Amino acid sequence: MMQLSLENAAVRLDGTLIFTGFDLDVSSPGVTAIMGPSGVGKTTLLRAIAGLVPLSEGQRRCDAKIAQVFQEPRLLPWQSALDNAGFGLRAAGFSHAAARVEAEVILDRLGLSAADRAKHPGTLSGGMRQRVALARALAMTPDLLLLDEPFSNLDPPLRDDLRGLLLKIVVERGIAAIVVTHDPIEAALVADRLIVLGGQPAQKLADLTLSPRPQNMAEAYAAAADFMRRPEIAAAFARV
Ligand SMILES: Nc1ncnc2c1ncn2[C@@H]1O[C@H](COP(=O)(O)OP(=O)(O)OP(=O)(O)O)[C@@H](O)[C@H]1O
């Protein structure tokens, strides 16, 4: 069983305390959204969860295979979609051929045709590039998938489509996912659990279980309106 925990965690960047007193325990599949206003420290927290920035206080325990997706796809421009999607596997020691086989399966699942898989990032649309970035992470068969505003650069119809597909894959594979977002609707649409960050330095202001997951936009708006009415959450967003 996977486990990721932070205990009383704080991170300081260049002397500035970004967040403090943060506890988190993730040990089962499901989607946790980390929501907060722009600049509050969500990306820094996600990097700390990934082990990419050291804690200045507290403890991190990680017994999970982690893969990450960023707001922008960060692909290698000189490699095909297929080789980009297999990049993490090759870095983990898979042969080129084996990485391609795995990458092909997941790219296909994410909607890239054989013709698209052969293309280089520069000739793919933004939505296709983000699919390749998702494929690169999913090909690693992570138990914990970290996503930083993964759909915010996409147009709404594409965003809805990709969000739905990703949710389906995460549920099917029993992956635990942590999604950073500043958007309450996005959080309502994806999350089983909602963590709200606010203040300066940032702290956890709320940690809620959401259920059931909205089945359409109207339900998502209603769910978001519901949690945004909570005083501790409203206050986090009122400050900006
Ligand atoms: N090296 C640094 N030194 C000092 N402060 C920093 C440093 N890097 C980031 N910050 C500050 O830390 C805060 C949190 O940044 P972070 O990117 O984690 O927030 P965020 O919630 O993800 O923001 P956004 O939604 O805009 O991406 C910001 O106010 C930023 O200015």
Q: Which two tokens stand for residue 143?
A: 């138990």
Looking at the chain, the number of H-run helices and the number of E-run strands are 10, 9
- Closest-CA residue, ligand 1 atom 10, reads 13
pLDDT computed for residue 153 by the predictor: 83
In the chain, pLDDT over 90 holds for what percent of residues?
Answer: 87
Its ipTM equals 0.92
Contact residues for 163 (Cβ-Cβ < 8 A; gap 6+): 151, 186, 189, 190
Peptide bond just before 212 cis, omega within 30 deg: yes
Q: How many whole angstroms from 39 Cα to the centroid of ligand 1?
A: 5
pLDDT computed for residue 211 by the predictor: 83
Ligand 1 in reach of 39 Cβ (< 6 A): yes
Of 13, 19, 180, which is best to mutate to test ligand 1, by the most ligand atoms within 8 angstroms of its C-beta? Answer: 13
pLDDT computed for residue 239 by the predictor: 57
Of 12, 38, 43, which is best to mutate to test ligand 1, by the most ligand atoms within 8 angstroms of its C-beta? Answer: 43
204 to each of 9, 42, 61, 196, 213, how far by Cα in Å? Answer: 11, 11, 19, 6, 22
Residue 123 has pLDDT above 80, yes or no: yes
Asked if residue 65 lies in contact with residue 146, where contact means CB atoms within 8 angstroms, the answer is: no
